[in-house]
Amino acid sequence: MALTPAPGPYLLQAMIAACHVRAMTAADTDWIAIAAYYQALALAAPSPIVEINRAVAVGMAFGPAQGLAIADALRQEPRLKGSQLLPTLRGDLLEKLGRVAEARAEFRRAAELTGNDKERALLLARANSPHPNIGVGA
């Protein structure tokens, strides 16, 4: 960081990775720093994938409603139309907000979009979980 006035995308990605490596658990992760690094990365190298990751970090740092606002802004992004990433993210955030029926619909949609059988099974398990916030990965 000391060598450059404005960190580029690779340095920002390394800083994000370093935050994850330093944390023993998700709860120990410095999500506020990661959200800030993703905000900077969104300016340095904008992409829908960076925005999805920023939504995750913001959701972890500041609550699922704020993460969902970022995710919802991506709903018309053409580069995400055939991807399971956005409905998976939305499902997770909606579930955390207690909007279980909406979350289940998103997990089902994500399961339809993925080409990976194991991922499909995990998404369907979350969609069919009888306990909100107690699905796989919750």
Report the candidate in 39, 44, 64, 40 with the shortest Cα–Cα distance to residue 54. Answer: 39
Question: Do residues 128 and 116 touch, judged by C-beta distance below 8 A?
Answer: no
pTM (2 d.p.):
0.89
* C-beta separation of 12 from 42 below 8 A: no
pLDDT tens, position by position, 33-74? 999 999 999 999 999 999 999 999 999 999 999 999 999 999
Kindly list the distances between the CA atom of residue 12 and the CA atoms of 1, 24, 42, 112, 121, in Å, as whole numbers in the listed order.
9, 21, 10, 33, 33
- The average pLDDT across 4-16 equals 90
Q: Using the predicted structure, report yes or no on whether residue 77 has a pLDDT greater than 70.
A: yes
What digits encode the pLDDT tens for the residues 92-136? 999 999 999 999 999 999 999 999 999 999 999 999 987 766 444
